[in-house]
Amino acid sequence: MPRPAPHPVLAALLSLCFVASLPATAGSQDTDVFPTLGRIVVLDDRFADCIDPEAKIDVLGSGFSWCEGPTWDAQGQRLLFSEIPSNTVRVWEPRKAVRVFLDPAGYTGLTDYGNEPGSNGLLVAGDEDGPSMLVSCEHGDRRLSIMPLTEQGGKVTLADRFEGKRLNSPNDLCMHSNGTIYFTDPPYGLPGGLEGPNAELDFCGVYRLTTDGTVSLVTKKMPRPNGIALSPDEKTLYVADSGAKHWMKFPVAADGSTGEGSLFFDASKQPGKGSADGLKVDVDGRIWATGPGGVWVFSPEGKPLGRIETGEHTSNVAFGGEDGRDLFITSDMYLCRVETKTTGAAK
């Protein structure tokens, strides 16, 4: 989803309405006492199994220029997230100020590359016995890359082309237990979009990247594919469409191949800021998806259970924290956290 155009007067009013005593800068949070914003909205009694209706939405940091792609690094006990316009990845750690972790993050060229050059979706991969690896969706360099987090070494390109043509601007990703990566490729980070001079593809694709480096198409029928996640049993792939403001689901075979998609939930008539954007799935198969108004929580059958309303354009979510029950939320200028009663499914 593209960064919304800022309105300084409205932003100031919203800060007064939703946030008490916000920190002056993004790097000022170094205590366990945080300002809060928004509210929890219950739509179904089952929502009580997911989150306390009185749970607070903590603001861990503010003042960012459109943050995205949060991912929890369990080995480092830290959260990494993208700040797309500044071309950086930032890191939040308990009782420490938010700081720049990686610069540049998504574009390494010599000249200006539009308003959204940085990385977007991030994923920390690896096991307890090996080094953690950071997989990034990079707008400016138009690729998926991987780099070690705990050892020396630079980035390696995983995918940057489909059938010989450069990707648009990879947006979000998830990983199957067999190592297959599914990712989305709208043109939000491509100057001029699909009509611009740098475009090589004439569609926005959802792709499958296998461990031998093969990139195959899942679908090109979605106007603006965005967030993406797998069900706990890895038999369903969920994909957000920020253009159509809905979520799709695709059957996944044992070998990782996918079938024809179908509508999961249509939010095109729902009020509130934002569109269908990032999402994660918990261990019980519930979908935690950013959409109009904040974060929607759905049953596996597509029934809305509740919302975490931030009052801002909300881009993405990630489970993490010491016990895995914290839901981290990137919401425009804010990095937030809310305690849940569940944990995330495997990436």
Counting the structural domains of the chain, the total is 1
Contact between 7 and 23 under an 8 Å Cβ cutoff? The reply is no
Containing structural domain, residue 234: 24-339
DSSP one-letter string for 273-300: S--S--EEEBTTS-EEEEETTEEEEE-T
pLDDT of the residue at 11: 33
Higher pLDDT among residues 14 and 280, named by residue:
280
Query: How far is CA 54 from each of CA 2, 272, 312, rounded to the nearest angstrom?
Result: 32, 21, 20
Q: Residue 128 pLDDT > 80, yes or no?
A: no
Give strand pairing partners of 290.
295
3-state secondary structure of 176: coil
Q: pTM value?
A: 0.90
How is residue 323 written in tokens? 């016990």
Q: pLDDT (tens digit, 9 = 90+) per residue, 129-168?
A: 677 999 999 999 999 999 999 878 899 999 999 999 999 9
Q: Residue 29 pLDDT > 50, yes or no?
A: no
CATH number of the domain encompassing residue 135 = 2.120.10.30
| Residue at 64 is within a domain | yes
| Residue at 19 is within a domain | no
| Residue at 122 is within a domain | yes
Q: Is 18 exposed, middle or buried (0-12, 13-18, 19+ CB in 10 A)?
A: buried
Query: Cα separation of 249 and 92, whole Å?
Result: 32
Q: pLDDT (tens digit, 9 = 90+) per residue, 79-114?
A: 999 999 999 999 999 999 999 999 999 999 999 999
The mean pLDDT value of the chain amounts to 90
Mean pLDDT to the nearest integer, 320-341 = 97
Q: Residue 346 pLDDT > 90, yes or no?
A: no
3-state secondary structure of 307: strand
| Residue at 91 is within a domain | yes
DSSP state of 20: S
Percent of the chain with pLDDT over 90: 86
Nearest Cα to 168, choosing from 239, 114, 249?
114
Cα atoms in the 13 Å half-sphere on the side-chain side of 236: 19
Q: pLDDT (tens digit, 9 = 90+) per residue, 237-292?
A: 999 999 999 999 999 999 999 999 999 999 999 999 999 999 999 999 999 999 99
Residue with tokens 């420490």: 96
3-state secondary structure of 15: helix
DSSP state of 323: T
